[in-house]
Amino acid sequence: MGANLINTMCEGVAPLIERITRGRVRLRILSNLADLRLARASCRIPFEALADFGFSGAEVAHGIAEASRFADADPYRACTHNKGVMNGVDAVALATGNDWRAIEAGAHAYCARNGRYEPLTRWWIEEGALLGRIELPIQVGTVGGAVKANPLIPVLLRTMGNPGARKLAGIMAAVGLAQNMAALRALGTVGIQKGHMALHARNVAVSAGAKGSAVEEVARALIAAGEIKLHRAQEILAKMVAARGPSAEAT
């Protein structure tokens, strides 16, 4: 993102500023509120593509739009709404060697630029479709720094088409918008806990020693039993091994 270069420039021009102003420069550092480096993404999803969980596409779309209005009206909801957005943005930042903490700081400051804390995304209904939009400051880099230090980062960037900083910021914004849509879709239908508990069950299954397709099988059994605990996962896996042999752990 070029932070070190900018900070070096700030320190370099400090004496000149002091001579011009006859004052003293104390803080020689950039701001993480990079509101001149805004990334945007938008989407249009027809109702029929949203049908799921036994709900019609229109019902899902209206649920997402209503959740968006809630976040716009209430800062307590907006905070959690934006946390979900940043789950996606931060994941890409980490994978590409960028400073997710700086991006987080800038994003949340941008949300409060109008004197009240607002959501990063907006969702609304228009002509039989759900429309979504995101805008936030994202300062990233694709050369130097951590990119050279970690050999996996160049590989990942190649799989993304070797994007420049502007395109990478756009990708991050798109991922944040998609992450937000997925969360609001669950919240507006079956509830977020179903997905969270399924993920928790998979993690417990892995901790119990399950591998491959056995992870999903053990996770489903844990959810069905209503007891997502390590000892229960170990019991389920042991029964699978007894019935099918050691290969059951990694079928």
Pairing status of strand 121-126 against strand 129-137: antiparallel
Residue 54: the pLDDT is: 87
Per-residue pLDDT band for 77 (boundaries 50, 70, 90) equals very high
Residue 175: the pLDDT is: 98
Residue 92: the pLDDT is: 97
In tens, the pLDDT along 133-160 reads 999 999 999 987 777 788 899 999 999 9
Residue 42 φ then ψ, to 5°: -150, 165
**Residue 217 has what DSSP assignment?**
H
Residue 207: the pLDDT is: 94
Of residues 199 and 98, the one with the higher pLDDT is: 98
Share of the chain above pLDDT 90, in %: 76
Tell me the C-alpha to C-alpha distance, in Å, between residue 64 and each of 69, 71, 158, 176, 226: 9, 11, 34, 15, 28
In tens, the pLDDT along 220-248 reads 899 888 889 999 999 999 988 888 776 65
* CB-CB neighbours of 65 under 10 Å: 20
Residue 248: the pLDDT is: 59
Close Cβ partners of 132 (under 8 Å, ≥ 6 residues apart) = 42, 43, 45, 121, 122, 123, 177, 180, 181
Of residues 81 and 196, the one with the higher pLDDT is: 81
Q: Which two tokens stand for residue 99?
A: 């400073």
Residue 62: the pLDDT is: 96
> How far apart (Å, rounded) are the C-alpha atoms in residues 176 and 170?
10
In tens, the pLDDT along 20-52 reads 999 999 999 999 999 999 999 999 999 999 998
Contact 85, 120 (CB under 8 A): yes
**Residue 250 has what DSSP assignment?**
G
In tens, the pLDDT along 9-28 reads 999 999 999 999 999 999 99
Q: 197, 187, 160, 191: which is closest to 175 by C-alpha? A: 160
In tens, the pLDDT along 185-216 reads 988 887 766 666 777 889 999 999 998 889 99
Residue 1: the pLDDT is: 61
Count the alpha carbons within 13 Å of 93 in the hemisphere toward its beta carbon.
Answer: 20
Q: Write down the pTM of the prediction.
A: 0.80
